[in-house]
Structure 1
Amino acid sequence: MIIGVLSQKGGVGKTTIAVNLAATFAKSGLRVLLVDADPQGSALQWSAARDAEPLFSVVGMAKATLHRELPDIAKDYQVVVIDGAPRVNELGRAAILASDVVLIPVQPSPYDIWAAAETVRLIQEAQQFKENLKGVFVINRKIANTAIGRDVTEALGQFEDIPVLPAALHQRVIYAESAGQGLSVLEVEPKGEAAREVASLAKLLMTKQEKRKAA
């Protein structure tokens, strides 16, 4: 399974989600590759900050040819997570075409909802060449018990073919604190709320992939 974490808007938490998803899959015993397809190289920086033994492989592939080069590399892994580039259409298209599922992080903000439309357009464009490609939204940095957290889910309903996953990620300091050490939330607080919500997200993505294969 290849999961592309993509948004045309920067600062939505792509790298945080990609890193923690990769760690969660790896901790479950799967062979995992994290592909840094963002020219900023945030996932590679996270890996460089790490003193502990690596949980998974990390490679930099910010290339417009990613969708052609990745299949040969991906065959050695059970799960590949792509940390995609924001605002770069050529790289964004390549990451989408390389993916089985595109995960679109959306914060509870009208700016994120507006930006989501462009990512959805790129997915729809890619589906002309890859009809089994799926897209899903995940609400990131949700603030519990606020109306805006509920409103964003309703607003995303306008994109009928892209469902909102029920596993939202909440605003938690541990995401930033763990990243600074090159660690995942699962390693810092394995029984914490952040680890549980990322595990729920990983399980949903795996279930979607199994359904896609069965279809």
Structure 2
Amino acid sequence: MIVALLNQKGGVGKTTLALHLAGELARQGQRVLLIDADPQGSALDWAERRNREGLPRLFAMIGLARETLHREVPDLTAGVAHVVIDGPPRVTALVRSAILAAERVLIPVQPSPFDAWASAELLRLLDEARGWKPELSARFVLNRCIARTRLLADARHELAGVVPPALAASVGQRVVFARCMRSGRLAFELEPHSAAAHEITAFATELLEVGP
């Protein structure tokens, strides 16, 4: 599976989700490659913090913020079960390349009345890409949610009838995720029995099970 996490709106927790998805797939015994295709290099910064702490590498990672991404990915997948692409925060030629490289696109959105509809340009690009890749699938994923709030309930209601659909699994706004980004660790390492760790497992499991 090659999955790209993309959203033209910044601050939706895209890199946190990408790192945790790669880590969860690796924890399940899969060989995983994470491609940091964001020129800001936040995932690479996380990996450097992990390296400085002397922690074992959970998955392979490279920086590849180039518009030729879709042409280079096939040469990187030998022996790899899953590729996770952390894309840039704006719609650019690099986003188009990430879409062409991917088999699935995840669009992280916060439970805000505006977040899902802020992805209109990205959705247009996805429709365009399906002209060349009809098997390309996409899903919204609710991220940085505050449980049992009206905003979350409203967001679920709004996304119930949209195309592409949203995953049933959602990920909360939790302090442990901020600690993960600062420490080079993942939620299952810092708090293995936490709600955050269980949410990531549910998110990865659904992604593997969901059809086109």
Q: If the length of structure 1 is used for normalisation, what is the TM-score?
A: 0.94
Q: Is the 8 A contact 2:8 2:91 kept in 1?
A: yes
Structure 1 counterpart SS, 2:115: helix
Question: 2:94 aligned with 1:91, yes or no?
Answer: yes
Give the drift of 1:153: 2.1
Residues 123-134 of structure 1 mapped to structure 2, 5 A cutoff: 123-134=126-137
Gaps of 5+ in 2: none
Give the drift of 1:158: 5.1
Question: 2:183 aligned with 1:176, yes or no?
Answer: no
Question: 2:45 aligned with 1:63, yes or no?
Answer: no
User: Quick one: which amino acid aligns to residue 26 of structure 2?
Assistant: A
Question: Aligned equivalents of 1:41 and 1:88: distance in 2?
Answer: 17
1:201 aligns to what? 203
Question: 2:7 aligned with 1:4, yes or no?
Answer: no
Q: If the length of structure 2 is used for normalisation, what is the TM-score?
A: 0.95
Give the drift of 1:125: 1.1
Residues 136-215 of structure 1 mapped to structure 2, 5 A cutoff: 136-157=139-160, 159-160=162-163, 162-208=164-210, 211-212=211-212
2:103 aligns to what? 100
Structure 2 counterpart SS, 1:135: strand
How large is the Cα RMSD of the aligned pairs? Answer: 1.2
Question: Aligned equivalents of 2:201 and 2:136: distance in 1?
Answer: 23
Query: Which of 96, 116, 119 is the matching residue for 1:116?
Result: 119
User: Greater helix share, 1 or 2?
Assistant: 1
1:49 aligns to what? 49
Q: Is the 8 A contact 2:91 2:122 kept in 1?
A: no
Cα deviation 1:1-53 (Å, max 9, x = unaligned): 01101101111100000000100000110000000000000100010011211
Aligned residue pairs total 209
Q: Which of structure 1's runs of 4+ aligned residues deviate more than 6 A?
A: none
